[in-house]
Amino acid sequence: MRRFFIEQSKITSTKIFITGSDAAHIKKVLRMKSGDRIGLFDGRGFEYEARIENLLAGSVEVSITKCFLSALESPVQIIVAQALLKDKKIDILVRQFTEIGITKLIPFTSIRSVPRPDKKRLSARKKRWRKIAIEALKQCRRSHIIELCETITFNDIIKTYDECDLKIVFWENESKPVGDAVQQVHDRHCRKILAVLGPEGGFSEKEIEDARACGFVTASLGPRILRAETAAVAASTILQYLFGDMGLKKS
């Protein structure tokens, strides 16, 4: 089935209009007719099956008959809040997070984070990360671009993200294994997770206290101290295994 990209904002009801070069392509090159079926995807992980209703002058009217999450997208949204790291470590993480199926990356600064880039630098970095993310998509065949947020502070993260089923800080001084820390949500419906990972210098006790007060659980990644960039990959993988699509098929 032919697939076309459609902006998610255009999908406001089951009847939608394909415009521009795609409309011309459908009519003039593919010579499709009313009743023919096409596929649509929105770049955000949703796929649609649709039927052509009308071939109009500047557009093609289609009706959506089926909507489903791309088979390559995890059923759980995993948002990783990652403290800024030295050198180009986040560049590599953007690629790895894309492959692991992370939905969103929120870079942040915290008490012990070393890099303090100014706005201009941050914006250049974000552009570079987007490029890396798109490259990574091609390689892993995913259709969902990892959302790259502006850099905020640790405080913003713990105070503003309220609507998650699980909010978890991976803390180097915690002894509770991640499996135990997530017990409370394990058997429940878990659709959205926020995982927070610290900078090379780790978290302060006060930061952990504040996070707990905001409803975060803290978890260990085992008895060894991992490098920040290793911890980020390990934590994302474990969460995707426990709640998403890296583990056994859910019955």
222 near ligand SAH, judged by CB under 6 A = yes
Q: Rank residues 64 and 234 by Cβ distance to ligand SAH and give the closer one.
A: 234
Among 102, 146, 190, 197, binds ligand SAH (CB under 6 A): 197
- What is the x/- site pattern for ligand SAH, positions 199-218, by CB under 6 A? -xxxx---------------
Q: Rank residues 59 and 220 by Cβ distance to ligand SAH and give the closer one.
A: 220
- What is the x/- site pattern for ligand SAH, positions 120-159, by CB under 6 A? ----------------------------------------
Total residues at the site for ligand SAH (CB under 6 A)?
17
Q: Which two tokens stand for residue 187?
A: 């058997």
Minimal distance, residue 175 CB to ligand SAH, in Å: 9
- What is the x/- site pattern for ligand SAH, positions 169-188, by CB under 6 A? -xxx----------------
Q: Which residue ranges make up the site for ligand SAH (CB under 6 A)?
A: 170-172, 197-198, 200-203, 220-222, 224-226, 228, 231
